[in-house]
Structure 1
Amino acid sequence: MSEVLVVAEHRGGELRDVSFEAITAGKELASGLDASLAVVVIGENSKKFASELNRSGVDTVYWVPEGEKFNHDIYHQSIVSLASERNLVGVVMPHSVNGLDYAPAVASTLDTPIVTDVTGIETNDKIVLTRERHGSKVETDIVVTDGVPVATIRSTEWVKANSSGSATVREFPVDIERSTVAVEKFVDVMDGDVDISQADILISIGRGIEEEDNLTLIQELAEVMDATLSASRPIVDNGWLPDSRQVGQSGKVVTPDVYLAIGISGAVQHVAGMKGSDTIVAINTDPNAPIFDIADYGIVDDLFEVVPSLISQFE
C-alpha cells in the first residue's frame, strides 16, 4: 500500500508541537491519496518519542536510533532509505531550521518536487499545495503532477493531531555514511531573555506606542496581568526590545491563551506568527486595521487612554 511519511521534530528532549501539526497535514494528504500514514522520529530518544507518537492517529511509527543531536546526514539518509523500502506518495516535515536543512537534499536525491512553507493541502484529482508569496500578500496553488512531493508545512496552520488509535511501532536501523561535517553542540540564542513561545499571556506592542519611553506603561500592564511582553518587528528594529521578543515570520511563532496586541496594525508577516493564539484582543485607533480581522475582541481607541484603565482594573 502507498504511504505518506511525516518527519517528527524534537528539541531539548521533547517533541515539538509542529510534529503533531505535521501529522494532521499528513492525514489530509494520505486521506486524499487513499494511502496509509507513517511518522518517523530520528536520533536521540527516538524510541521514547516513538511511544509518544503511537497514539497520534498514524498507522506506523518508525524510530531511527542514530545520532545524539540533529545531523543532516542522518536525517537525509534515513528518509531516503525509508523511501526506497516503502511506496511513498508524499513526505511532510516542519518548515523549521532543521526541516529546511534536509528537505532539499531529500527532494534532490529522490528527484522529486519540493514545496516549502506550505499552508494548505488539497487532493482532489491532483495534489495541490498552497503557499504564500510576496510577503504573504498572494496565495499560490502549486499542482504536483509527477513525483513524490516533499512539503515543509508552516507552524500553527494545522491543529495538533488528537490522541487516538494505536500504531505499529518498529525500529528502522540505517547504515549511515557520515560526511566530514558533524554537529558538536546547539546554542540556544535567547540572550538570557524569556522564551515568548512558552507564555500563557502575551502583551505585544507595535508602532502605536510611538516612543521607547512609553514602554514603561506597557510593562506596568504586563506586571499586573502577569503577562510576558513581546513585539512586532518595528519595535525590535528600533532596538527597544531584543530579538527574542519578536513575533512574526522573521521572529517567533506563538500560541498563547491570550494575545493582547497594542498599537499593532496587523501586517501579514506579524499575523503569521500569532494567529494561532486562543484569544486575540486588539487595541488600535484605526477601525480598519487588519488586526481586527482576526481579533476575537477589539477596542478602537487611544492606547494611552485604554492601557491606564486596564491597569486600574487589574490592580
Structure 2
Amino acid sequence: MSDVLAVAEHRRGNLRDVSFELVTAGAELAGDGDLHLAIIGGDVDAFAEELSLDGVDAIHTIAEGDEFNHDVYVQAVTALYEELGPDYVLMGNTVNGLDYAPAVAEGLGIPLVTDAIGLENDGSLVVTREMYASKVESTVEVDADNAAVTIRSAEWEPTEAAGEPAIEAFDFELDESRVRSRVAGFEEVGGGDVDITDADVLVSVGRGIEEEENLELVQNLADALGATLSSSRPIVDNGWLPKDRQVGQSGKVVTPKFYIAVGISGAVQHVAGMKGAENIVAINTDPDAPIFDIADYGIVGDLFDVVPELIEQFE
C-alpha cells in the first residue's frame, strides 16, 4: 500500500493521453493507498471534471498559467509533495515530464527512474525499463522509501471509467522571482501539416515501398480511408517524408484506432511507437516478419498487389 501523486499533462487546451494512462499506472501502484492527481495550469476545473476517474481519490487543482512552465511545475509539484507526503510521484516520460521531473527529484532529494514500462510494489518499488533500443528489458529496484518515476506513453491502458474523487484547489505561494521563462507561443516543426499522434487512422509505410515515387500509392490508400500517412524510420532517413511523420522510439508514439503497416517488418524500435494502437493491420511479403506477432490482421502479399485492391474496395 502506497500513496501516489500523479501529475496530469495538457497542451493547448486539451489533456494529453498520458494523463489518463497515469491514472491507470498510479492506481496500480497505489493499491489500497491513495492516488492523488495534480492539475497545474490551464482550465483546471474542466480538466478536473475529465479526470474524475475510477481509482483517483483526490484531485488538486493549481491555477497557475495556461501552458506548461518548468519553473511553475517544479514549485507546484514540490509544494504539493511536501503537503501530501506521498511515497511516489508519477509523471509522463514526455518532453514536458522529462523537463521538470529531474528538478523535482533533485530538489526533494529522492531518486528518479525514467521511461518506465512496468511498475511493481511488493515492499519496494521495482521498475521495468527497456534498454538497447528496446531489445532488452531490465528491472530496477529502488532502494528508497520515496521516488519519482516517469512512465512511457501507451504502455498502460487509459482509464475511462468515471469516479468520484474529491476536488480541491491547492494554494501555495509561487515565488515569481524563480519563474524565469514564459510560453510565447507554439510553432509546428517538420512541416507541421499534421499531428500523427491525434490521428484515428494511420497508414504507415516502410522500406518495402522501395522507391520514393511509390509513396503516392500508399498516400492514395490513406486518402481512400480518410487516414493520415506516417512511416518507419528508413523513410524519414531517406528524406522521403518529414521527421514529424515518423513512428517509433526515435519518432512519435501513436495510439490510433487503426494502424495499417505497409511494407514494415516490425523492428523493435518501430513497434515501441505503435503497439498501443487498438487495431493493427500488417501487409508484408514475409510471413515471418515480426510485425505479424503484434498484428490483429495480417496480409501476406506484395504491397504493390494488395494496396491497389484495397484502394478499389474502399473507393
| Superposed pair shares fold, TM > 0.5 | yes
- TM-score calculated relative to the size of structure 2: 0.95
- Tell me the secondary structure at the aligned position of residue 253 of structure 1: coil
Spell out the pairing of 1:270-281 with structure 2 (5 A cutoff): 270-281=270-281
Partner of 2:204: 204
Letter in 1 for 2:181: A
Query: Which of these residues, 167, 187, 204, is aligned with residue 169 of structure 1?
Result: 167
Partner of 2:266: 266
Partner of 1:187: 186
What is the CA distance between 1:30 and its match in structure 2? 0.2
Partner of 1:229: 229
* Cα distance between partner residues in 2 of 1:89 and 1:205: 44
Partner of 2:102: 104
| Unaligned residue ranges in structure 2 (runs of 5+) | none
- Tell me the secondary structure at the aligned position of residue 223 of structure 1: helix
Give identity over the alignment, percent: 57
What is the CA distance between 1:40 and its match in structure 2? 0.3
* Cα distance between partner residues in 1 of 2:67 and 2:199: 26
Query: Which of these residues, 105, 115, 118, is aligned with residue 116 of structure 2?
Result: 118
Partner of 1:48: 46
| Unaligned residue ranges in structure 1 (runs of 5+) | none
Asked if 2 retains the 8 angstrom alpha-carbon contact of 1:20 and 1:56, the reply is no
Task: Pick closer, same or farther for the CA change 1:307–1:109 going to 2, 3 Å.
Answer: same
Query: Which of these residues, 60, 77, 88, is aligned with residue 90 of structure 1?
Result: 88
* Cα distance between partner residues in 1 of 2:219 and 2:162: 42
Letter in 1 for 2:272: A
Asked if 2 retains the 8 angstrom alpha-carbon contact of 1:73 and 1:177, the reply is no
Spell out the pairing of 1:1-315 with structure 2 (5 A cutoff): 3-31=3-31, 34-178=32-176, 179=178, 181-190=180-189, 191-315=191-315
Q: Deviations over 1:40-76 (max 9, x none)?
A: 0001222332232233431110011112321111111
Letter in 1 for 2:52: N
Paired residue total: 313
* Cα distance between partner residues in 2 of 1:197 and 1:2: 33
What is the CA distance between 1:256 and its match in structure 2? 1.5
Task: Pick closer, same or farther for the CA change 1:147–1:188 going to 2, 3 Å.
Answer: farther
What is the CA distance between 1:265 and its match in structure 2? 0.9
- TM-score calculated relative to the size of structure 1: 0.95
Q: Once superposed, which parts of structure 1, at least 4 consecutive aligned residues long, lie more than 6 Å away?
A: none
* Cα distance between partner residues in 1 of 2:165 and 2:99: 28
Q: Deviations over 1:147-192 (max 9, x none)?
A: 3111111111001113332111111112122326212323242424
What is the CA distance between 1:293 and its match in structure 2? 0.8
Letter in 2 for 1:75: Y
Q: Which deviates the most, 126-135 or 187-196? A: 187-196
Asked if 1 retains the 8 angstrom alpha-carbon contact of 2:71 and 2:179, the reply is no
